[in-house]
Amino acid sequence: MGALTNYAEDETIKHIFRTGSFTKPSGLHVGLFTAAPGEAGGGTEVTGGSYARVASAPSDANWAATVGGNGTTSNAGALTFPAPSANWGSVTHWGIFDAATGGNLLVYAALTTPKTINNGDAAPSFGVGALTFQIDN
């Protein structure tokens, strides 16, 4: 399903258990990777060929509520990337950042099935509920 990055874990600990506070991101931005990110971030995010992260602001309209304490959320609307104007390669992972470019990777997960995205392909899209994230419970 995915994992919180070290950054997100540290900020959550500071917010709940210590004196720090975590400022809720004003935007969430979904990115695609051709090499796996990890706890420390990293990985290889797609670049070029009209690629851009897709914004999906933190809101009840954009992210599903947890049900019965299952600690799970998913996208409540379709998330569609720009159509590729160059080969993006074999996309293996997705992640959510707190900025449209740069920023901090908050969560990441492997795709169920890697997808090769080439110039001229239809715009890649995740349907409603396709991006699922669960806090380990």
Q: What is the pTM of this model?
A: 0.92
In a domain, 39, yes or no: yes
Listed in sequence order, the DSSP H helices in the chain are 6-17
Q: What is the mean pLDDT of the chain?
A: 93
pLDDT tens digits for 23-39? 889 999 999 999 999 99
Residue 50 CB neighbours (<10 A) = 13
Domain count, the chain: 1
Q: Please check whether residue 79 lies inside any domain of the structure.
A: yes
Domain assignment present for 93: yes
**pLDDT at residue 3 in the model:** 86
In a domain, 127, yes or no: no
Beta strands at 54-55 and 89-97: parallel, antiparallel or unpaired: unpaired
Which residues form the domain of 65? 3-122
133 in a structural domain: no
pLDDT at 136: 72
> Is residue 105 assigned to a domain?
yes
Could you tell me which of 100, 106, 89, 134 has the C-alpha nearest to residue 40?
Answer: 106
131 within a domain of the structure (yes/no): no
Ranges in the chain, pLDDT < 70: 1, 137
